Amino acid sequence: MEGVDYLADERKKTEFDVEEMKIVWAGSRHTFEVSDRMAKLVANDPVFRKDDRVMLARKDLFKNTLRKATYAWKRINELRLSEEEASKLRSFVDEPAFTDLHWGMFVPAIKGQGTDEQQKKWLPLAYKMQIIGCYAQTELGHGSNVQGLETTATFDPQTDEFVIHSPTLTSSKWWPGGLGKVSTHGVVYARLILDGQEHGIHGFIVQLRSLEDHRPLPGITVADIGMKFGSGAYNTMDNGLLRFDHVRIPRDQMLMRVSQVTRDGKIVQSDVPRQLVYGTMVYVRQTIVQDASIALSRAVCIATRYSAVRRQFGSSNGGPETQVIDYKTQQSRLFPLLASAYAFRFVGEWLKWLYTDVTQRLQANDFSTLPEAHACTAGLKSLTTSVTADGIEESRKLCGGHGYLASSGLPELFAVYVPACTYEGDNTVLMLQVARFLMKTVSQLGSGKPPVGTISYMGRIEQLMQCRCAVKKAGDWLNPNAVLEAFEARAARMSVSCAQKLSKFSNPEEGFAELSADLVEAAVAHCQLIVVSKFFEKLQQDIPGKGVKRQLEVLCGVYSLHLLHKHQGDFLATSYITPKQASLANDQLRELYSQVRPNAIALVDAFNYTDHYLGSILGCYDGNVYPKLYEAAWRDPLNDSVIPDGYEQYIRPLLKQQLRVAKL
Ligand SMILES: CCCCCCCC/C=C\CCCCCCCCCCCCCC(=O)SCCNC(=O)CCNC(=O)[C@H](O)C(C)(C)COP(=O)(O)OP(=O)(O)OC[C@H]1O[C@@H](n2cnc3c(N)ncnc32)[C@H](O)[C@@H]1OP(=O)(O)O
Ligand SMILES: Cc1cc2nc3c(=O)[nH]c(=O)nc-3n(C[C@H](O)[C@H](O)[C@H](O)COP(=O)(O)OP(=O)(O)OC[C@H]3O[C@@H](n4cnc5c(N)ncnc54)[C@H](O)[C@@H]3O)c2cc1C
């Protein structure tokens, strides 16, 4: 039954202009147009086929990725795609590859930490992919603790070179993507040693492989670290190990925007704060927040469409059974994830703005907003990736047994996505950075320096410590001011409570370690407040299109009230709300689910994902799930023959043996 839309009845229920919502989701009409064009370009090109990926052995999988990445690069050049178009194309190819680290970390590291001269020398080579780079920071023994890295870069004044060395097994670089088999160069992070004295961690551009025959250069040992979680998934990436045996590089290959080493081996600090050595991580964390909404929305799109197709129980007089999306339990698990996808989309948009703003300020030697940018990127990266990874797994469960099939797309999506909770900073370690920022802010209250930006609510600390929630009926929870004050009061009170407990320790570091679990909870509350407040800010913009703003208001309500319900312990323990008010919030949340229900399919259609990109039989646009599942089963290699390989060798003798036993 080609061409039949099994979700047509659902789509008829829509109460808003889906085409306009697509623009809101994309960010602008222009971005929508670029995104739509690139998605179709990839979907219609057989080279980018990916449905066979989970069946491929590692070597074939990797070669396939090389083929796709090279072909993508060829198409980018043939079609003269802009950076924006190329970046969209790469995301729709939907396969982690060495190119991600080249464009996403190697190039930004040189841009952010290199001097003008260094940029002039290296960037043109990198832009043309005449060199391919990776970001080699993490080691076998240290990842989170960057200051604990062991690789050394010792200056030799005789030859005007740095000697890069791996003194121990644990100093081996371990994990860098693209390093294992592809990169010709790396930005390598190492301890700078001048005249026997250590000067902290710095980045160095090091050539790793010959540009002639791709062999490792003398003194360099490099390989892939081996298979990772799941089939297909992140195994398309050659995460690598790397050891240096006294490898020499010219002095001008230390990235010298933050600190310079002179010809006579002296260090000169520029005005730029040393934390800028961590700048690439701030950049990537910001892109990871944007990607979280994409990954979560994909999973939610699959689970929502399938929940409308799937029916269980409730048939009367032989009529159809109930669509599982109509069960309140299904709604209470699914709709908060749908709302979170939209919330993360908007907070990601805002974070991109914040990052652009801080970058412009840094160029003008204004470093004042760097700590806030670090706290926001670290905290939001942590919050959004944790919720997204859990949300993908919840989406799989929402699809019942069929969610466990590879053809649902969800197992691979989870396996590709879940390392986002670890890479670019372990999520707990990053929340502890937010907690430090919060404790510093609380300790400075009353010093005459008013808190600004996302922390400005702390400037009203006295009011936030005393106020009580004014909600009297469920509908009062629709008032943005009521919701915002609740989240502000909760975050402020949790931070102040931690600060009070900390002040009782004579050694603040000991106190911080002892209270770290509470501190993480306070940091999560602060980050959730940021997401809620950015959603409300989005609603204050002019949003055209019939019913679009209304739908977003409903989703904003679902996002904030489901958090309030889930974390009601925090709100109650800080005495901002009463149990009655918590219960009213839950009543309002249930009512909002009923408002989402008729629009659910349209709200996921607004993501504008092609069937190719979704890569899921359960999530296909037309909802024609069962025939497609049946056909896919027959395509499995196990079904190539009726009698399986191994029958003669294993099954037949086994059955014969059973027969003999039975005869005895
Ligand atoms: C198909 C073909 C297509 C072709 C395509 C063409 C075009 C394509 C275009 C674009 C493609 C883009 C693709 C992008 C995709 C990107 C994919 C990424 C994939 C994932 C890669 C993952 C890579 C990694 O994981 S890299 C390694 C990351 N490692 C970490 O994150 C380590 C975590 N640890 C830390 O960050 C730190 O050490 C710390 C934060 C834990 C701090 O530790 P510490 O307490 O020891 O602190 P310090 O003493 O070092 O410093 C304290 C001081 O500094 C402040 N601080 C800390 N960090 C920062 C920071 N980042 N910025 C600013 N300030 C910082 C901290 O707050 C303290 O300040 P005080 O004031 O309190 O002193
Ligand atoms: C798929 C993938 C790709 C990667 N790509 C790259 C790359 O391209 N380049 C690169 O350089 N690196 C890369 N990495 C490495 C990655 O950045 C690190 O693994 C990450 O920063 C976490 O560090 P770790 O492994 O040392 O974890 P650990 O710090 O050893 O974490 C182990 C546990 O200890 C806890 N913990 C650690 N410190 C503290 C603390 N202070 N307080 C409380 N708890 C703590 C953590 O929460 C965690 O539960 C990649 C990793 C993965 C998984």
Show the ligand 1 pocket: residues with CB < 6 angstroms.
69, 72-73, 76, 86-87, 90, 93, 97, 99-100, 103-104, 135, 137-138, 143-147, 177, 275, 278, 281-282, 284, 287, 370-371, 374, 423-425, 429, 433, 436
Give one DSSP letter per residue of 551-566, joined into a string: HHHHHHHHHHHHHHHH
Ligand 2, atom 41, lies closest to the CA of 429
Query: What is the distance in A from the centroid of ligand 2 to the CA of 429?
Result: 9
* Residues that constitute the known binding site for FAD: 138, 177
Work out which ligand 2 atom sits closest to the CA atom of 101. 8
Relative to beta strand 152-156, strand 185-194 is: parallel
Ligand positioned closest to the Cα atom of 234: 2
Mutate to test the pocket of ligand 1, among 281, 282, 289, 428 (most ligand atoms within 8 A of CB): 281
Query: What is the distance in A from the centroid of ligand 1 to the CA of 356?
Result: 16
Q: Under DSSP, is residue 434 helix (H, G, I), strand (E, B) or coil?
A: helix
Q: Which residues contact 512 (CB under 8 A, 6 or more apart)?
A: 435, 436, 439, 502, 519
Ligand 1, atom 56, lies closest to the CA of 275
Work out which ligand 2 atom sits closest to the CA atom of 234. 1
**Sign, CA torsion 630/636/642/648:** negative
Q: How far apart are CA 264 and CA 251, in angstroms?
A: 11
With CA atoms as reference, report the closest residue to 202 among 250, 149, 139.
149
Ligand 2, atom 17, lies closest to the CA of 423
Tokens representing residue 109 in the block = 């590291």
Q: Provide the β-strand partners of residue 190.
A: 202
Confidence (pLDDT) at 451: 95
Per-residue three-class SS string for 308-365: HHCECCCCCCCCCCCEHHHCHHHHHHHHHHHHHHHHHHHHHHHHHHHHHHHHHHHHCC
Q: How far apart are CA 142 and CA 150, in angstroms?
A: 8
Work out which ligand 1 atom sits closest to the CA atom of 426. 33
| Ordered domains of the chain (ranges, CATH) | 133-270 (2.40.110.10)
Work out which ligand 2 atom sits closest to the CA atom of 179. 8
Ligand 2, atom 42, lies closest to the CA of 429
Tokens representing residue 527 in the block = 């980050």
Q: How far apart are CA 159 and CA 156, in angstroms?
A: 6
The residue count of the chain comes to 664
Separation of CA 206 from chain center: 28
Query: What is the distance in A from the centroid of ligand 2 to the CA of 144?
Result: 5
Confidence (pLDDT) at 1: 42
Q: Average pLDDT by consecutive 10-residue portion of the chain (664 residues)?
A: 84 98 98 98 97 92 97 98 98 98 98 97 98 98 98 98 98 98 98 97 98 98 97 94 98 97 96 90 97 98 98 92 97 99 98 96 91 97 98 98 98 98 98 98 92 97 97 98 98 98 97 98 98 98 97 98 98 95 98 98 98 98 98 96 97 85 66
Query: What is the distance in A from the centroid of ligand 1 to the CA of 378?
Result: 8
Q: Provide the β-strand partners of residue 254.
A: 204
Query: What is the distance in A from the centroid of ligand 1 to the CA of 555?
Result: 32
With CA atoms as reference, report the closest residue to 225 among 157, 173, 185, 264.
173
Which DSSP symbol is given to 444?
Answer: H
Query: What is the distance in A from the centroid of ligand 1 to the CA of 644?
Result: 50
Query: What is the distance in A from the centroid of ligand 1 to the CA of 289?
Result: 13
Tokens representing residue 94 in the block = 């939907």
With CA atoms as reference, report the closest residue to 521 among 542, 543, 491, 553.
491
Q: How far apart are CA 588 and CA 327, in angstroms?
A: 17
Ligand positioned closest to the Cα atom of 430: 1
Catalytic residue among 95, 139, 393, 424: 424
Work out which ligand 2 atom sits closest to the CA atom of 424. 17
**Sign, CA torsion 355/489/560/575:** positive
Ligand positioned closest to the Cα atom of 273: 1
Ligand positioned closest to the Cα atom of 415: 2
- Spell out the alpha helix ranges (H) of 467-515: 480-502, 508-514
Ligand 1, atom 14, lies closest to the CA of 104
145 burial (CB, 10 Å; 0-12 / 13-18 / 19+) is exposed
Work out which ligand 2 atom sits closest to the CA atom of 189. 11
Work out which ligand 1 atom sits closest to the CA atom of 423. 25
Buried b (16+ CB within 10 A) or exposed e, 417-454: bbbbbebbbebeebbbbbbbbbbebbeebeeeeebeeb
* Residues that constitute the known binding site: 138, 177
What's the chain's Rg over C-alpha atoms?
A: 27
Query: What is the distance in A from the centroid of ligand 2 to the CA of 661?
Result: 55
Show the ligand 2 pocket: residues with CB < 6 angstroms.
101, 135-138, 143-144, 175-177, 234, 239, 419, 422-426, 428-429, 432, 516
Active site residue 424: yes
Helix (H) or strand (E) holding 190: strand 185-194
Q: How far apart are CA 369 and CA 452, in angstroms?
A: 9
Ligand positioned closest to the Cα atom of 187: 2
Ligand 2, atom 28, lies closest to the CA of 144
Query: What is the distance in A from the centroid of ligand 1 to the CA of 376?
Result: 12
